[in-house]
Amino acid sequence: MRHVQGMEKISSFVTLSLSTHFFYKVLSSMSYWNEQCKIGNLAFPRFIGGPLDGITDSPFRKIVRNFSTKELLYTEMRHVACVANDTGKTKALYFSQMERPLNYQVSASKIDFIQQACERIVESGVDMVDLNIGCPARLVVNSGAGSALMADLPRLKVVLDAFRKALPIPFTVKMRAGYKEHNAVEVAQLIQDCGVDALAIHPRLQTQFFAGSPDYTIAAQVKRAVTIPVIISGGVVNWATAKAVYEQTGVDAYLIGRGIWSKPWKLHEMQEHSQGRLYRVEESVILASALAHVDAMVEYYGQRGLYAFRKHLPFYVKGKMCASQLRQRLVVSHDVEEVKAGLRQFFGA
Ligand SMILES: Cc1cc2nc3c(=O)[nH]c(=O)nc-3n(C[C@H](O)[C@H](O)[C@H](O)COP(=O)(O)O)c2cc1C
Residue 205 CA to ligand 1 centre (angstroms): 13
Residue 23 pLDDT: 55
Hey, what CATH class is 283-346 in? mainly alpha
* Amino acid residing at 262: S
| Residues with a CB atom less than 6 Å from ligand 1 | 50-53, 55, 76-77, 105, 132, 134-135, 174, 202, 210, 233-236, 256-259
**In angstroms, what CA-CA distances link 54 with 77, 81, 301, 309?**
10, 19, 12, 10
Residue 323 pLDDT: 72
Largest CA distance in the chain: 89
Residue 197 pLDDT: 98
Q: Does residue 293 contact residue 59 with C-beta atoms inside 8 Å?
A: yes
Phi, psi of 144 (to 5 degrees): 90, 0
Residue-by-residue DSSP string for 79-107: EHHHHHT--STT-TT---GGG-SEEEEEE
Low-confidence ranges of the chain (pLDDT < 70): 1-29, 322
Dist. CA 79–CA 235, nearest whole Å: 26
Q: Does residue 250 contact residue 227 with C-beta atoms inside 8 Å?
A: no
pTM over 0.85: yes
Q: Which residues pair with 39 in a beta bridge?
A: 42
Report residue 243 CA to chain centroid gap: 16
Structural domain boundaries in the chain: 34-274, 283-346
Residue 52 CA to ligand 1 centre (angstroms): 5
Measured by CA distance, the residue closest to atom 12 of ligand 1 is 51
Q: What is the pLDDT of residues 93-112, one digit of tens each?
A: 999 999 999 999 999 999 99
* CATH code matching the domain that covers 34-274, chosen among 3.20.20.70, 3.40.50.300, 3.40.605.10, 3.40.920.10: 3.20.20.70
Residue 319 pLDDT: 82
Residue 255 CA to ligand 1 centre (angstroms): 9
Residue 345 CA to ligand 1 centre (angstroms): 32
Dist. CA 148–CA 132, nearest whole Å: 10
Burial readout 127-166 (b: 16 or more C-beta within 10 A, e: otherwise): bbbbbbbbbbbeebbeebbbbbbbbeeeebeebbebbeeb
Q: What is the pLDDT of residues 62-98, one digit of tens each?
A: 999 999 999 999 999 999 999 999 999 889 999 999 9
